[in-house]
Structure 1
Amino acid sequence: MYLVVGGTGAAGSRIVAELVSRGMQVRVLTRGNRRAKDDGVSFVRGDLLTGAGLAEATANVHTVIDASDGKTPRSQRVLTDGAENLMQACWASGVERAVLLSIVNVDQCALGYYRAKAEQERLFSTANRNNVVVRSTQFHEFLGMMWSTPSRARVLPVFTHTSFQPIDLRDVAAAVVDAARSESLGAGSGRQQITIGGPEILSMRELARQWTFARQAQGKTRHRALTVPVHVPGKFGAFLRAGRNLVPDDAVTNGVTFGQWLSEK
């Protein structure tokens, strides 16, 4: 049995679908009321912050996959206090492995959200030597979300001297499930972390050009948005300009490109 935490979110739902496609039994932790779907996925209520329901959620579970998120300062406790509660429940229930979805070089940026994710990684890695952290570059959806609102005013903010290596959520899900099932990771292997990145590195300006062209081709807009250079200040801007959001060649996935994802959308 696999338990997916954050299994109703964008990344989590893809991970659930990947597990189901491989014939795995899947349980999803949710804060709301859900009933089992036709594919056999079961839902259990629980709360990472209070710990309520975590014992029931982790009972008879072999592997936990955590795709939870908390980007606002108020919700970041889900990543820290929530991870501590989840690891305690895993230990008490005898869960053999927990896999965490995280961000490339998250421990090299002082942004509050990144600090919380880095602490989440630490809690996972120290709780059980069999646990695995999967660090990923930004999802294709990240850029779409960033541009959807300003594009209505025919403006696209473009970070100066910044490139991205966006990755498709289906490729992320496959890598996470592979890590969950791998015998070459975790205790005894000396490897508790893997890194994955999208198939191509493109400047943010080029990504904006592709995004605008795709929207015009699909009839979503008749006007070309104006790209506006934006200098991202502080340590996060320095992190991006240094290319620390990118991965080396041996971590590149041969998956869906940003352009291919746009054509699907």
Structure 2
Amino acid sequence: MTTILVTGGTGTLGRLVTARLRADGHDVRVLSRHTEPYAVDLREGGAGLDAALAGVDTVVHCASSPRGGDERAAAHLIAAARKAAVSHLVYISIVGVDVVPLGYYRAKLAVEKQIEESGLGWTILRATQFHDLVAQVLGSLAKMPVLLLPAGVSDQPVEVAEVADRLAALSLGAPAGRVDDMGGPEVRGFRSLADAYLRATGRRRPLVDVRLAGKTYRAFRTGGHLAPDHAVGKGTFEEYLEARIGRTES
């Protein structure tokens, strides 16, 4: 039986990866800052991390924070994984980290490079944004009386459960390097996604497209964060909304 450590194992993605692997009968350890017996802050490292990795065959690295610290956390994890003779490190990244000059994306790209140069067997999967994040962003924007949208920007949201299935499968295979990106089933303009969100939540808001400035906005406008050639996801944004809110009728 394979022993697998899932970092960020209580998060949106990590908890689903953990559930998939346990359902298949694998010994899965969950590492997060507040979950015993492997309550570890990866940014600090320490003896707790060594204990969490003892006897582990594979690590699925889902822990991440837009607030910073990902590179330091990865350095601690890689050093401890080497010490523990871990055979496979699987990492979830984001489509466009090498194109979109957003600070969080740059940090994810830097972690990719750390893993590639780690000397460990590794697999990296890049996915487009989860439905959950798109809904969260639209929910924040909809708090205003007018819903302001980035003009000319599209997205390709993917169902997080499908990404969890893919990560779980990759963790049970041999190290595969950088695998094909995983995108949602549709490239959708933000206005289309906003319309779907407002219908599902029963809200009415005027939609106003706003042109922004800067390299990051240009990269999003040109689709640097999209994977139209890898639209392998099945679940649509409307199906996501129906499952969580129950109102997607026109």
TM norm. shorter chain > 0.5: yes
* Aligned: 1:255 with 2:250: no
Residue 115 of structure 2: which of 103, 121, 124 is its match? 124
Contact 2:100 2:219 in 1 (8 A): yes
Specify the alignment match of 1:229 in structure 2. 209
Out of 57-66 and 156-165, give the one that drifted further.
156-165
Question: 1:203 aligned to 2:203?
Answer: no
Q: Which residue of 2 aligns with 1:220?
A: none
Cα pair 1:133 1:193 within 8 Å, conserved: yes
Would you say the 8 A contact 2:155–2:189 is kept in 1?
Answer: yes
Answer with 145-154 or 11-20: which moved more: 145-154
1:46 aligns with 2:40: yes
Query: Alpha carbons of 1:227 and 1:239: their partners in 2 closer, same or farther (altered >3 Å)?
Result: same
2:83 counterpart (92, 95, 114): 92
Shift of 1:33: 4.4
Judge which range, 102-111 or 164-173, deviates more. Answer: 102-111
What amino acid is the match of 2:85? G
Instruction: Write the distance in 1 (CA, Å) between the matches of 2:143 and 2:184.
Output: 28
Cα offset, 1:68, TM superposition: 1.2
- The equivalent of 1:102 in structure 2 is 93
Separation (CA, whole Å) in 2 of partners of 1:248 and 1:208 = 20
1:155 CA drift (Å):
3.1
The letter for the 1-side match of 2:56 is: V
Could you tell me which runs of 5 or more consecutive residues in structure 1 were left unpaired when the two chains were aligned.
35-42, 217-222
Name structure 2 gaps, 5 residues minimum.
245-250
Distance 1:255 1:102 in 2: 20
Letter in 2 for 1:66: H
- Structure 1 segment 1-265 matched on structure 2, within 5 A: 1-34=3-36, 43-52=37-46, 53-72=48-67, 76-77=68-69, 79-128=70-119, 130-183=121-174, 185-186=175-176, 191-216=177-202, 223-249=203-229, 251-265=230-244
Q: Aligned partner of 1:258: which letter? A: F
Distance 2:120 2:34 in 1: 32
Change (3 A) 1:69 1:232: farther
Residue 129 of structure 1: CA displacement? Answer: 5.3
Identify the range of structure 1 (25-34 vs 48-57) with the bigger mean alpha-carbon deviation.
25-34
SS state at 2:149 partner: strand
- Identify the residue that residue 248 of structure 2 maps to in structure 1: none
Query: Runs (4+) of structure 1 moved beyond 6 Å?
Result: none
Task: Give the Cα separation in 1 of the matches to 2:31 and 2:89.
Answer: 14
Task: Tell me if the contact between 1:129 and 1:192 (Cα under 8 Å) persists in the aligned partners.
Answer: no
CA distance in 1, matches of 2:234, 2:119: 31
Q: 2 CA distance for matches of 1:21 and 1:253?
A: 24
Matches of 2:233 and 2:179 in 1, distance apart?
Answer: 20
**After superposition, what is the alpha-carbon deviation per residue over 1:124-172, rounded to whole angstroms, capped at 9, x for unaligned?**
1111352011100001011111122332334323211111110011011
Kindly tell me: are residues 33 and 132 of structure 1, through their superposed partners in 2, closer, same or farther at Cα, counting changes over 3 Å?
closer
Secondary structure of 1:99's aligned partner: strand
Q: TM-score, normalised by structure 2?
A: 0.91
Quote the Cα distance in structure 2 between the aligned partners of 1:31 and 1:57: 12
> Any conservation in 2 of the 1:130–1:192 contact (CA below 8 Å)?
no
- Give the partner amino acid of 1:47: D
Q: Distance in 2 between matches of 1:242 and 1:150?
A: 22
Q: TM-score normalised to the size of structure 1?
A: 0.86
